Chain A
Amino acid sequence: MPAQQDSQQELRTQLKELLVSTLRLEDVKPEDLDEEAPLFAPDNRLGLDSLCALELLSAIEFTFKVRFANDGSARQHFESIATLAAFVASARP
């Protein structure tokens, strides 16, 4: 399914760009982000902490017109860029 793979990769690229711009990560290039790396692990190289999550969640909801459930399940979607892309792909209208 090459078309689906292209779409998934495009989504990951958009999410990396959104993450860098939303969290104003100076000196970080979107293309350098590891798509599988844990986003909020204590030793993550981006220095993100959980307080960044709301800002990023809000940006994703408004950009992609998706809604995270408010039952705590958002945490699992924020594991990595890859899991975020999978969620957005499944939740997009």
Chain B
Amino acid sequence: MAITAHQALVTGGTKGIGRAVVRRLAREGHAVVAVYHSDDATREDAAREFSEARLQVGFERADLSNPEEVAGLFERLTEMGHSPELLVNAGEFTGDAPIAFLGETDVDAVLDANLRATFLTCQQAVKVMAHRRFGRIINFTSPEAMLAGEGQLAHAVSKAGVLGLTRALAREVGHLGITVNAVSPGVVRTEMTPLSVTRLEAFVRLTPLQRAGTADEIAGMVNMLCEDGAGYITGQCLAIDGGLS
């Protein structure tokens, strides 16, 4: 499928699936900036990997749940001539517990990282995309948004919120040439996977394909949504979960 090179912004771009997305988009020729929260050691590791692979990737540090930091991030991007036409919200935080042990600050932290950050980056990015009358936004949700497993309350709420945000925003900005979709990865084994081996294996048993997915498989779907031929797909949630949902 034809690929037009674009400027891209990937949140959570130094770890796990986000890092695989950065790698894939950069390999396809897009100019990618990866955003990370605070882990400079992981950023260094990602920078080393991309450099060795001769992939040109920029890095920006920001707390994306903070409106001022998000506005500042987009100001810096503008100053460096990077106007994202592709936005991939792959940043992810899990900190769940059964409701008896779940504090309101725990819930706030998950909602801030997963839902509020997605809203704030979308809000800034659509201004750039509206000006260009082109944009592709891909938000990360989860099968939990619909299946809502026990002990995953805050995460399920945040990902259901991302789904609603995605569908509503798709309707709002479609006339400007901007598509907004969600991807929903199933069980994927990365260093970010919050599940114990036992729980992960339990999820795999529920998965018709009887295996965990790979970060590269998720990145492949994200890349597909960025391709020229995906311009008529919007407001959708694409599950890459081996049939789990």
Q: Which residues of A are in contact with B by a Cβ distance under 8 Å?
A: 51, 54-55, 57-59, 61-62, 67, 69-71
Contacts and interface: CB of A to CB of B under 8 A. Distances in A.
Interface of B: 67, 70-71, 75, 120, 123-124, 126-128, 130-131, 172-173, 175-176
Contacts of B130: 54-55, 57-58
Contacts, number: 31
A45 B124 CA distance: 30
Contacts of A61: 127, 131
Provide the main secondary structure of the chain A interface. helix
Nearest to A58: B130
Provide the main secondary structure of the chain B interface. helix
A57 B172 contact: no
Given A70-B71, A71-B67, A51 B124 contact: no
Contacts of A51: 172, 175
A70 B67 CA distance: 7
A16 to B, nearest CB: 19
A44 to B, nearest CB: 18
Contacts of B175: 51
Nearest to B133: A55
B59 to A, nearest CB: 23
A74 B172 CA distance: 17
B74 to A, nearest CB: 9
Contacts of B124: 70
Given A51-B172, A51-B175, A70-B120, A57 B127 contact: yes
Given A58-B128, A67-B71, 9 more contacts: A54-B130, A54-B173, A55-B130, A57-B127, A59-B131, A61-B127, A70-B120, A70-B123, A71-B67
